[in-house]
Amino acid sequence: MALTFYWYPKCGTCRKAKKWLEEHNIEFQDIHIVEHPPAKEELKDLYEKSGLELKKFFNTSGQRYRELGLKDKVKTASEEELLDLLASDGMLIKRPLTTDGTKVTVGFKEEEFNQQWL
């Protein structure tokens, strides 16, 4: 089954991850995370499958994150509020977001991609 690869083409980390997938001949469907962000239900599913804290799904170095002053809000908001925020703006989601429907990686670390996707 092909991976689903949510990415932002202007993001250097996303381009590195895409290049890694291509170099390893891994089939994937790339989805522009800003034009087609994952829906709240999908984000919840990815979050639950990832085993990560929900705050790890936020692009904390992004401009939108800072503009909205989310640093403190993320600490106190409910899971529902956090999922609503993530679903409202693809720029808030840490990228790339990669899944095969069972496993999920957030961001790109070559070592993690080697473990999960090879």
Q: How many domains does the chain have?
A: 1
CATH number at residue 84: 3.40.30.10
Kindly report, residue by residue over 69-78, the tens digit of the pLDDT: 999 999 999 9
Predicted TM-score (pTM) of this structure: 0.94
Kindly report, residue by residue over 78-101, the tens digit of the pLDDT: 999 999 999 999 999 999 999 999
Q: What pLDDT, on a 0 to 100 scale, did the predictor assign at position 116?
A: 97
Residue 19 domain boundaries: 3-117
For the chain, the three-class secondary structure string (H helix, E strand, C coil) is CCEEEEECCCCHHHHHHHHHHHHCCCCEEEEECCCCCCCHHHHHHHHHHHCCCHHHHECCCCHHHHHCCHHHHHHHCCHHHHHHHHHHCHHHECCCEEECCCCEEECCCHHHHHHHHC
Kindly report, residue by residue over 46-57, the tens digit of the pLDDT: 999 999 999 999
